[in-house]
Amino acid sequence: MSAQTQAPIKRLTPPDIRARKGGEPIVSLTAYDAPMAAVMDPHTDLILVGNSVGMVVHGLPNTISVTLEMMILHGQAVMRGSKQALVVVDMPFGSYEQSKEQAFANCVRVLQETGAGAVKLETSVQMADTVRYLVERAVPVVAHVGLRPQAALADGGFKAKGRDDDSRAKVLAEARAMDEAGAFAMVVEGVAEDVAREVTQMVAVPTIGIGASSACDGQVLVMQDMLGLFDWTPKFVKKYGNLRELAEAAFKDYASEVRSRAFPGPDHVYGAKKR
């Protein structure tokens, strides 16, 4: 079959991801721009345009200041760079909590303006009616239970959940409520391993762990963390590369060659046109 007649690559959909419950683990990473989305796309099932963009790209202290416009801009870029992965865009703090109607209007805007396949909401038991409202109106929702970065101010920081009886019961209740409300998958972040296992066994939809358990139906990591772009990474991150060292070496070599006038060399400049 020639390149001209090859069938177009089919992008994964929310039902495809939901059908992976208990099957082959779901591979997920965050992305915020077109080039990195293109590099990871052949290897991932789900690309999350996370509101972590505020911290790892824009240098903000938390995700609270991330705006809807920022998420749309980065979502558009990731959609341009990817072809086969389901792209899910985080709904930022303040864009869905006020009312079901506010949540619907902003989720529709994100889906329409980015072309993404779903949205993710940091959820609680109290958000169940909103998630149900969205799902009933054809908005595919990924829930997010456990440690919720958008609640960091209220929690006094980024603190693991499910490590005592009260916290455990709360995580289980959140997961059950999101399952019943119709989310097609859920991120389980920063919870005790046994709680993540219990959540995965309890709910009918795939769980995607981050700082949770290998028993989850998939895993997600922040791209910059797993590539080693920062001096410090959370406990649950494994560095699969050290791009910080590679970048620093490249910058050092470039600076040296510029200062010595070794760059640009003959291969990097234009000559006059021959007459």
For residue 149, say if its preceding peptide bond is cis, omega within 30 degrees of 0: no
Q: How many other C-beta atoms can be found within 10 angstroms of the C-beta atom of residue 57? A: 13
What does the alpha-carbon distance between residue 247 and residue 253 come to, in Å, rounded to a whole number?
10
**What are the DSSP calls for 98-146, one per residue?**
S-HHHHHHHHHHHHHHH--SEEEEE--GGGHHHHHHHHHTT--EEEEEE
CA distance 155 to 150: 10
Q: Across the strands, what pairs with 141?
A: 119
* Paired residues of 47 in beta bridges: 29, 87
Catalytic-labelled residue, pool 189, 193, 198, 248 = 189
State both tokens at 186.
């859920």
Is residue 189 part of the annotated active site? The answer reads yes
Annotated catalytic residues are 189
